[in-house]
Structure 1
Amino acid sequence: MPVDPLHAPPAADGPRHVALIMDGNGRWAERRGVPRAIGHREGVQALKRTVQAAPALGIHCLTVFGFSTENWRRPVEEVTDLMGLVRSYVVSDLKRLEKEGVRVLVLGRRAGLPADIAEIVERVEATTAHNDKFILQVAFNYGGRADIVDAAQRHVDRVLAGEATGPLDEETFGTGLSTAGGPPVDVIVRTSGEQRLSNFLLWEAAYAELVYQNVLWPDYGPDALADVVDQYRNRDRRFGGRAAATPALAAG
Structure 2
Amino acid sequence: MDHPGLKADPNNIPKHIAIIMDGNGRWAKARGFTRTKGHLRGVEVARDVIASCQKRGIKALTLFAFGVENWKRPAKEVRNLFRIFFLVLRKDIAKLHENNIQLRVIGDRSIFNRALNAAILDAENLTASNTSLVLNIAVNYSGRWDMINAFRKLISTQQEKLLQQTFTEEMLNKEMSLYGLPEPDLFIRTGGVQRLSNFMLWELAYTELYFTPILWPDFNSDELDVALNDYASRERRFGLTGEQLG
TM-score by length of structure 2 reads: 0.93
**1:80 deviation in Å?**
0.8
Secondary structure at the residue paired with 1:54?
helix
Residue 71 of structure 1 pairs with residue 74 of structure 2: no
1:138-153 aligned within 5 A: 138-153=137-152
- The equivalent residue for 2:192 is 193
**1:5 deviation in Å?**
6.2
Change beyond 3 A, Cα 1:55–1:231: same
TM-score by length of structure 1 reads: 0.91
- Aligned mates of 1:100, 1:9 — CA distance in 2: 25
Secondary structure at the residue paired with 1:94?
helix
Q: Aligned Cα RMSD in Å?
A: 2.4
- The equivalent residue for 2:16 is 17
Kept in 2, the 8 Å contact 1:8–1:57? The answer is: no
Kept in 2, the 8 Å contact 1:107–1:178? The answer is: yes
Change beyond 3 A, Cα 1:246–1:43: closer
- Aligned mates of 2:49, 2:223 — CA distance in 1: 9
1:35-50 aligned within 5 A: 35-50=34-49
* Gap regions ≥5 residues in structure 2: none
Deviations 1:143-199 (A, max 9, x none): 001111111111111124889976111111101111111121101110011100000
With 163-172 and 202-211 compared, the bigger mean Cα shift is at: 163-172
**1:11 deviation in Å?**
1.8
Deviations 1:41-66 (A, max 9, x none): 00000000000111222311110001
- Aligned mates of 1:164, 1:177 — CA distance in 2: 21
- Aligned mates of 2:12, 2:50 — CA distance in 1: 19
- Aligned mates of 1:6, 1:123 — CA distance in 2: 37
With 25-34 and 216-225 compared, the bigger mean Cα shift is at: 216-225
Kept in 2, the 8 Å contact 1:66–1:140? The answer is: yes
- Aligned mates of 2:220, 2:117 — CA distance in 1: 29
- The equivalent residue for 2:121 is 122
- Aligned mates of 2:5, 2:80 — CA distance in 1: 31
- Aligned mates of 2:31, 2:179 — CA distance in 1: 40
1:97-176 aligned within 5 A: 97-160=96-159, 167-176=166-175
**1:245 deviation in Å?**
6.0
- The equivalent residue for 1:178 is 177
- The equivalent residue for 2:28 is 29
- Aligned mates of 1:120, 1:47 — CA distance in 2: 19
- The equivalent residue for 2:204 is 205
**% same residue:** 35
Change beyond 3 A, Cα 1:102–1:165: farther
- Aligned mates of 1:185, 1:38 — CA distance in 2: 30
Secondary structure at the residue paired with 1:206?
coil
Residue type of the alignment partner of 1:91: R
Change beyond 3 A, Cα 1:84–1:5: farther
Secondary structure at the residue paired with 2:12?
coil
With 194-203 and 234-243 compared, the bigger mean Cα shift is at: 234-243
